[in-house]
Structure formats: C-alpha cells, structure tokens
Amino acid sequence: MSFCNQKVLPAIRQMKDFELLLQSPFEYMVLLDSHIGQLKSIVETARRHNKKMLVHVDLIQGLRNDEYATEFLCREIKPAGVISTRKSAVLTAKKNKVLAVQRFFLLDTTALETSYRLVEQTQPDYIEVLPGVMPHIISEIYERVKIPVLAGGLIRTIRDAELALSGGAIAVTTSRKEIWNHFLANPL
C-alpha cells in the first residue's frame, strides 16, 4: 500500500490546517499535537470528508502513552493508522488491524541498530524515519528490512522532500504547506 500514491502526508499541528486539508485532494493526513477531548470529533470529521487520519499516539495530550491507550484509540476513535515510537503501541495497533507506523529518531549508529532490532519485533506496516533528510539512510533501511519507509522531521524544502523520495521513501510527512502544494495539481 502506498497511501493512494500520495507523495506527501500532510501533518496537522493546528486546526486551521485541518480545515484546509478537508477541502484538499489529500486522502491521508497525520494528526500531531492533539487533545484527547478533540480526537474523536477530528477523526469522525475527517472520515465524513473521505479522509483517513494517521494519529501520532505519543503526542495526544491527556492520553497515557501505553498499550491500553492505544487499545482505546483503535477501538473507540478508529483512526486509519497509529504512529508511535513505542513497541507496545505498534504491536497493539497491529493486533487491532489498524495501520501501524513505527517512528524512529536516528541520532547515531547505535540508534539505527536499536531500530533494526525493534522492527524485527514489531514488524510494522511502515517505518517513519526522523530526520527525513538522510536519503542514503532511508535507502539502507528499506534494503535491510523491506518495510516501506516514510521520511519526516526537518523536511524544510521541496528539495528535501524530493531527495527523501529519491532515496526510497514512499512519502514524506510534513507540516509545511509549500511542500504540500508542490505535490498538488491545484495548490491549496
């Protein structure tokens, strides 16, 4: 699966961006920095507009970051997918048949090797690599684990996005509207 060939998964940090994206051709979106009290309504609104929301479970305010929170999220909120750095969240999402994205912060070689061991245990549907401005590392990760890679974090320019994609990422996650617009036939 490749997110309906979207090269960008818009990341929402503010509600005004969410409202803008509801009118866009993007089918998949990433929800960052949310509050538990707003979550169900946001996901349901997205669904009514034929949008699929990937929720970053680690960034939901008011929701404890553990397997029970992910279980609640999958069963009650029903997002299209869950993004997390945590093994338990990824495994719980998979158990509940929700797309599971394992997020990696790659600071150094030790973090990379730890990530490889983690992905063997979780077998996520996707891996999100941060920072996403390392095309050669994106390529290396895909070659080693054969799991589709998303690139996120520090993607500041169209060129950064294009390099990540040329390095093997199937899509980039970004909150930068100029990058969203670059990949649309009719900019927002």
Q: Is CATH 3.30.70.20 correct for 3-182?
A: no
Chain centroid, CA 54 distance in Å? 6
Look at residue 1 in the predicted model and tell me its pLDDT.
Answer: 57
* pTM, full prediction: 0.96
**Residue 6's CB: how many other CB atoms inside 10 A?**
18
Look at residue 45 in the predicted model and tell me its pLDDT.
Answer: 98
Q: Per-residue pLDDT for the chain (188 aa), expressed as one digit of tens each?
A: 579 999 999 999 999 999 999 999 999 999 998 999 999 999 999 999 999 999 999 999 999 888 999 999 999 999 999 999 999 999 999 999 999 999 999 999 999 999 999 999 999 999 999 999 999 999 999 999 999 999 999 999 999 999 999 999 999 999 999 999 999 988 88
Look at residue 33 in the predicted model and tell me its pLDDT.
Answer: 87
